[in-house]
Amino acid sequence: MAPPLCGSEAEAAVMEQEAAPGAEERTGRLRRSGHPGRSGPDINHTHRDVSGGWLRPTVFGAMDGLVSNLGLVAGVAGSSASSQTIAVSGLAGLVAGAFSMAAGEYTSVASQRELVQAELEVERGELRRHPEEEVRELAAVYESRGVERRLAMEVARQLHRDPEQALETHAREELGVDPSGLPSPMVAAVSSFLSFSAGAILPVLPYLVGATSLWYAVVLALAGLFACGAVVARVTARQWWFSGLRQLALGAAAAAVTYGLGVAFGTAVG
C-alpha cells in the first residue's frame, strides 16, 4: 500500500488531479454536492418518504371503513329501517369489515414475508457454495449501472467480506427487498383493524347517541373523508383541498348509490 501523501506532495497531487481532463467537471459536481474540503455552498435538501410509511396504510384503512360503512348505513336507512336497526347494521359492518381487513392484511404480509425469507435462504446457500460467482454477479450489477469493471469487482469483494452484509446487498440488488426492514404481519393486522374501525365508526356515531336522521351520519362521514383526503396529500403531493374534495365526492357518490338502492329494495320488499 502506498504511503499517505502529506504537505506539498498532497497539494501537488491535488493540483495534478484537477489539471487532468474532465477534472473541472468532476470538481464542479463535488462542490455542488458540498463535498468536504471543497469550497462552495452546501446543498441540504430532504425527500419525503415516497413509500408513505405508516401514514398510507393507516389513512387508506380509515377511508375504506368510512366509505364502506357510510354506504351500508345509507342503504339500510334508505329502506326506511329504524334507527336501532341502522345502528346495529353499522356496528355489524364495522366489526365484520375490521376483522376482514385484519385477516387479509395478516395473510398478505405473512405470505410476502415467508416468500422473501425463503428466497433469502436460497441466496444464503448460493453465497456459501459459490462465493466467487456471487461476487462476479454483484459486480456485474454495478457495472451495468456505469461503474468501471475493476472498481465494481473491488466493491463487490469488499462487501463479501461480511457474509451478512453480502446477503443484505444481494437481497436489495436482486430481490429489491431490505431483509432488516420486513414488515410484521401482526402489526399490519392490528393497524388495519384499528384504522378501519376508526373510519367505520363515524357514520354510526350519530345513531348511537340518539340521532334519527341520516344527514348527521352523512355530514360526519364526509367530514372525515375530507380530513383523510387532506392528510393523504402529504403522500401524493397534491393540494390538500383537492385531495380532500376528491375523497368527499367519492364518499358522497357511494352513499347516494347505496341509499337509492336501499329505497328501491325497501319499496319492492315492502
Is residue 88 domain-shared with residue 127, that is, in the same domain?
A: no
Residue 44 is assigned to a structural domain of this protein: no
Q: Rounded distance, CA 132 to CA 159, Å?
A: 12
Residue 99 is assigned to a structural domain of this protein: yes
> Could you identify the residue written with the cell 336501532?
84
Three-state SS at 265? helix
Residue 130 is assigned to a structural domain of this protein: yes
Torsional class of 3: left (φ above 0), alpha (ψ -120 to 50), beta (otherwise) = beta
pLDDT given for residue 15 in this prediction: 42
Is residue 127 domain-shared with residue 251, that is, in the same domain?
A: no
Domain endpoint, select from 164, 181, 198: 181
Q: What is the pLDDT of residues 94-110, one digit of tens each?
A: 999 999 999 999 999 99
Residue 6 is assigned to a structural domain of this protein: no
Is residue 177 domain-shared with residue 188, that is, in the same domain?
A: no
Is residue 141 domain-shared with residue 234, that is, in the same domain?
A: no
Domain endpoint, select from 144, 163, 181: 181
More confident residue, 12 or 166: 166
Is residue 132 domain-shared with residue 264, that is, in the same domain?
A: no
Is the C-alpha dihedral spanning 72, 76, 77, 81 positive or negative? Answer: negative
pLDDT given for residue 42 in this prediction: 58
Residue 181 is placed in which grid cell?
Answer: 426492514
Is residue 74 domain-shared with residue 133, that is, in the same domain?
A: no
Residue 235: which pLDDT band, with cuts at 50, 70 and 90?
Answer: confident
Q: How many domains does the chain have?
A: 2
pLDDT value at 2 more than 70? no
Is residue 189 domain-shared with residue 260, that is, in the same domain?
A: yes
Is residue 146 domain-shared with residue 215, that is, in the same domain?
A: no
Residue 40 is assigned to a structural domain of this protein: no
Is residue 93 domain-shared with residue 226, that is, in the same domain?
A: yes
Residue 127 is assigned to a structural domain of this protein: yes
Is residue 82 domain-shared with residue 199, that is, in the same domain?
A: yes
Q: Rounded distance, CA 65 to CA 1, Å?
A: 64
215 close to 197: Cβ distance less than 8 angstroms:
no
Residue 24 is assigned to a structural domain of this protein: no
pLDDT value at 28 more than 70? no
The boundaries of the domain holding residue 177 are 116-181
Domain endpoint, select from 142, 161, 181: 181
Is residue 99 domain-shared with residue 204, that is, in the same domain?
A: yes
Q: What is the pLDDT of residues 121-149, one digit of tens each?
A: 999 999 999 999 999 999 999 999 999 99
Instruction: State the average pLDDT over residues 31-45.
Output: 49
State the DSSP code for 196: H
pLDDT given for residue 8 in this prediction: 41
169 close to 141: Cβ distance less than 8 angstroms:
no
Residue 48: which pLDDT band, with cuts at 50, 70 and 90?
Answer: low
pLDDT value at 47 more than 90? no
Residue 5 is assigned to a structural domain of this protein: no
Is residue 254 domain-shared with residue 192, that is, in the same domain?
A: yes
